[in-house]
Structure 1
Amino acid sequence: MAVVAFAARQAPVEEAVSLPLGMAQLSPAGLSEQWLLRFCGDQHWALIAKALGQREAVFHAEDGRPVYAAFCTTSLRFYPLSRPLLGQDAQILSRLFAVSDTRTGSTHQIMVGGERIAKVSMISTFVSHDASRSNTRIFRNTVLGDMQIMPAGPELMMLDGETRETARSLRKAAQVGVQTYYCERPTPSLDFNAVGLLYFPTFSRIAEAAAYARSERPEPVLGRDVVYLGNINQGDRVYVADHGTMSVMTRGDGSLIAAVQTLSAPV
């Protein structure tokens, strides 16, 4: 059975969480981008499980093969802070929507003291490994079960359209990532997830590491959009290059794995 969206559902699938902000959640600039992506990713998967009537975010296809809700894109925005965040309580409202028959999207609003300090939008699709278990041979799959979720609004639909257009234009480009300015080999115990894939927040971490390698004082991040186009196997290297206003990430064979657009403030 496939993922099906029923517009007749009146109430969104959602989860509201309140938690104190401590060292794990914060960075010198404010809210930690890495923590926020990891937290919202877990919320996204938990909401999918909830929509499927499951307690655990562990998914399977009809043939029993493991299925993962892999992200097609994430979009993050930070807002100006009027107070120090350490010790404050954050309220996070996460909601799940149907973007298409094969894609689910979520929105996450982060509030402190009645002020919005960040928002995250995420879109995922279901995928599986083939028999080789190679991360370069991931294929789309369907999950066992039906989800009844509300259709996405204009903001998520616009993000989905922009993501598809970015993917199409990059794959048509004759040359991508020629001028590599950063390279690293991600660490398995730190940068890969439980199913062996390069964990989606790692792409943002690599983008920030590349910016830091260029400048010892990179501009503060106001937002970051990542389009995920592929993955790597453990032991492989990731190469970062400029492509217009974006950064692109490739494998050693030149295959695209991500496009990153970073919004930053002048230092």
Structure 2
Amino acid sequence: MSRAERVAAAEPALWEDHRLGMPEMGYRGLSEQWLMRRAGDLHWRLIAAAMGQDRAQFDCADGRPLYAAFCATRLRLFQPGRPRLGDRLRLAGELSRIGASRLASRQSLRLGDDEIGRIELVSVFVGHDNAARNRSVVRRAPRVMAVPPAAPTTLALLARQAARIAAAPPRIEPSHHLLPCPATEFNAAGLLYFPSFAALVERADFTRGASAQRLLAERSSVYMGNVDPGETVGIGFRPALGGHLAQLAAPDGRPLALMRSRFHAV
């Protein structure tokens, strides 16, 4: 890993307001895909602000591009049925650090004075290796590494739990195999976008009989790998209290992600 210049940073905070329309809303409640894409972008911009940059583009000392890849995320929706078309939603986040190489953000969702949800994201900088294969992205240090205040206990615990799972993930036999579409499920870095993992799980779950009326209460995700366009993703399920545990795997069996989902009763 190359050395990075370390820059102390005050705890940066950013917020953005959204008038909820069709792009922001899903079949029932907020669109998870829209919400997590916005949260991921806010996380990147928080890092850029902490580094003194006005653009969320990162590179290492030799100029190769880097990406703030997520290793753990948690979305909690306290009132998933509350948002309506035309409401004004505020998404606000603060950045912190976990150890020497990971950065985390805690983001709140508010309608007026009411907090209706919370998002926690933990990332590490990665880059493609010389083969430019998504299966072998590697950790690299950025040219400048922000050092915001230490993360609160809940975020540090989320990161520790994710690290334990990634070190010894459970084995859940795939029951569904889906082919992600590059035009809709990969991002500008050429990687399967982190919200797309949840979209694939939802597609597989719906084909096995999940209710279209259910509302997501919480989704905790640990990301362990990625695939290239043209590779299928295997998805297996295991029942869990209030929802299920889903594992995504590459064609060769490599674990890609583990997701714990809970749903409000319908």
TM-score between both structures, scaled by the size of structure 2: 0.92
Alignment of 1:21 onto 2:23: no
Which of residues 195, 208, 215 is equivalent to 2:202? Answer: 208
Aligned mates of 2:52, 2:188 — CA distance in 1: 23
CA distance in 1, matches of 2:129, 2:53: 25
How far off its partner does 1:244 sit?
Answer: 6.4
Shift in CA distance, 12/63, structure 1 to aligned 2, threshold 3 Å:
same
CA distance in 1, matches of 2:30, 2:185: 20
Check whether the contact 1:66–1:128 (CA below 8 A) recurs between aligned residues. yes
SS of equivalent residue, structure 2 residue 146: coil
Give ranges in structure 1 of 5+ residues lacking alignment: none
Return the offset for 1:104: 0.2
**Does 2:230 align with 1:235?**
yes
1:55 corresponds to which residue? Answer: 54
In 2, the alpha carbon distance for the partners of 1:83 and 1:186 equals 31
Letter matched to residue 157 of structure 1: A
Aligned to 2:76: 77
In the TM superposition, what whole-angstrom CA distance separates every residue of 1:199-254 from its partner, at most 9, and x where no partner exists? Answer: 00000101111111111525321110110000000000000013564211101111
1:16 and 1:91 in contact (8 A); partners too:
yes
Give 1:177's aligned residue.
172
Contact 1:20/1:89 (8 A) holds in 2: yes
Match of 1:225 in 2: 220
**Number of residues paired by the alignment?**
259
CA contact (8 A) 2:219 2:261 kept: yes
Look up the equivalent residue of 1:167 and give its one-letter code: A
Shift of residue 4, structure 1, vs aligned partner: 4.3
Specify the SS of the correspondent of 2:120.
Answer: strand
1:135 aligned residue: 134
Q: CA contact under 8 A between 1:38 and 1:201: conserved in structure 2?
A: yes
Question: Are positions 1:159 and 2:154 aligned together?
Answer: no
Counterpart residue number, 2:258? 259
Report the 3-state secondary structure (helix = DSSP H, G, I; strand = E; otherwise coil) of the residue aligned with 1:17: strand
Q: Partner amino acid for 2:48?
A: A
Structure 1 residues 19 and 241, CA gap change in structure 2 (3 angstroms): same
Question: 2 CA distance for matches of 1:121 and 1:237?
Answer: 28
Structure 1 CA distance for aligned equivalents of residues 105 and 83 of structure 2: 28
* Mapped partners of 1:82, 1:126: distance in 2: 35
**Backbone CA RMSD of aligned residues:** 1.7
**In 2, are the aligned partners of 1:5 and 1:150 still within 8 Å (CA)?**
no
Contact 2:178/2:233 (8 A) holds in 1: yes
Q: Alpha carbons of 1:159 and 1:83: their partners in 2 closer, same or farther (altered >3 Å)?
A: closer
SS at match of 1:30: coil
Further displaced range: 210-219 or 135-144 = 210-219
State the Cα distance separating 1:169 from its structure 2 match.
2.5
> 3-state DSSP class of the match of 1:206?
helix
TM-score, normalising length: structure 1:
0.92
Contact 1:232 1:251 in 2 (8 A): yes
Greater displacement, 50-59 / 83-92: 83-92
Instruction: Tell me the secondary structure at the aligned position of residue 257 of structure 1.
Output: strand
In structure 2, the CA distance between the partners of 1:236 and 1:110, relative to structure 1 (3 Å rule), is same
